[in-house]
A and B are shown apart, each in its own frame.
Chain A
Amino acid sequence: MPLVDSPSFEDPGTKLDLEDNSPPEGDSQQAMTLRVIAALLAVAVVALLFLNISAGAERYGTITGVVQDLEGNPLQAEVFVIGVGSDNSVFPDANGAFTLQNVVVGDRELIVGYNGIGQSVRVNVATNATADVGTISVDTALEDG
């Protein structure tokens, strides 16, 4: 018998397991799938974070109009918006025309204040757009005692 065919060359006790130790092919595919899902979710998180930030950012528009008394005379009344972004107020010009800028978009309550009374006008303001409320006639006889 040739030496190479001797049974001693095949020792079950020290035989190395030459089988492939890598995970089964199915496990590799599962791990890859999980990683793809994780990557997609991570992209979704980033996108949602961006959208949340964009939604929270304030957008502004402008309101214009004319203020007069019941006789049609221009009136120097204080014009402002209640609520968010309403720190600014304006007074109409000599013709009663006013422009109120930097108004946070949305449904807003415009106030025309004169002699202690504020006349309320509802107006919807859109982003980078001008909302014209037209002519506001103020009853100057109203008073607050």
Chain B
Amino acid sequence: MIRPTRRRVLQGLLGTAGALSLAPTLARAATPDDRRFVLLVLRGGMDGLGAIPAHGDPDYREARGAAALPQPGQQDGVVDLDGQFGLHPALGGLLPMWERGHLAIVHATSLPYGARSHFDAQDLLENGTDRPFGAATGWLNRALSASGAPVTAMAMGRGVPLVLRGPSPVTAADPLREQRLGPDLLERIEDLYRGDPLLEPALRAGLRTQDMLATARTSTRLRRADTESAAGVIGGLIAHAEGPRVAVLELSGWDTHTSQDRVLGRQLEAVAGALTGLQEAMGAVWGRTLVLAVSEFGRTVAANGTGGTDHGTAGAVLLAGGAVAGGEVFGRWPGLARRQLVAERDLAATTDLRSVFKGVLAGHLGVREGPLEDDVFPGSREAPPLEGLVRG
């Protein structure tokens, strides 16, 4: 009886097992210079060393074993960036961004956490404190509150991820779903809701978002049911004059315990697609946008016995957008010799991930030091903001 049917604009995005799920969450805030910020949460522990191979490290090939990629110049080889680091070939589409200075990387970075549990680490990634379940709100929501300007946050997708939960009001919408309510029913409902303090404003905001999304959808050439097209719709929404200023996208499927060569390649293609899709859809607004892609932890340096890698510690973070001071790999490289690894298995962290968040929030969204240290990232004095990530 009560079985809803959901027709999606982009079929197949969630079709196959292990496929990618894109559930964007958006927030509108008054941001300095009308900037845009997109947080891309990669759930499952992305292999940072796989995405950004340190092919120039003398121990790279031996340490990675079966997980090592062919050298630059070889077939399916690493796409070199600066002689020391490169891109996984599936991220090759981002090379133009790197060359234009719109792509940066922070490598060997992790949360202050080493127990390798997805559940705990993802919570820590989003709560902004120094321990899992340390807060019921997220650092990004708290940062929006700290910005001072009135914030109406729009969340898109099924739920609001922790990072966007908190005192700043968050609303929800799904950009991939067309609103299918007939005009007659809608009109009658609007009548019924008139004067209702909860339902009327929510309905009105929902319909307004749907209108903006419809515009974004028609202007995005939906070639295939893929992440790039989905990102295009979201990009169009964010770039819209009345659209949200802050967005959170989620991509899962990174937990590559087996068959990493196949799975990681597909995942990274989607990331490249998401970033280029956003760039294309946002047009001039890309110039004042910063996209930050993070994962809860990295993976083991060496391959395991099933063609994959296991949960690790430090990983890599990507920053993309016109607001990025790009063309550089930030962070001190700890090395891949066995004695340089954590427990002889994981890449060691030389930058606290919170330093990256703080550097972006301060440099791009103008969040002041006081609130940043006291409210947004309490207990993080030992992780100073990472400078130089944001242009200007």
The judgment on whether A and B are partners is no
Chain A residues within 8 Å of B, Cβ to Cβ: none
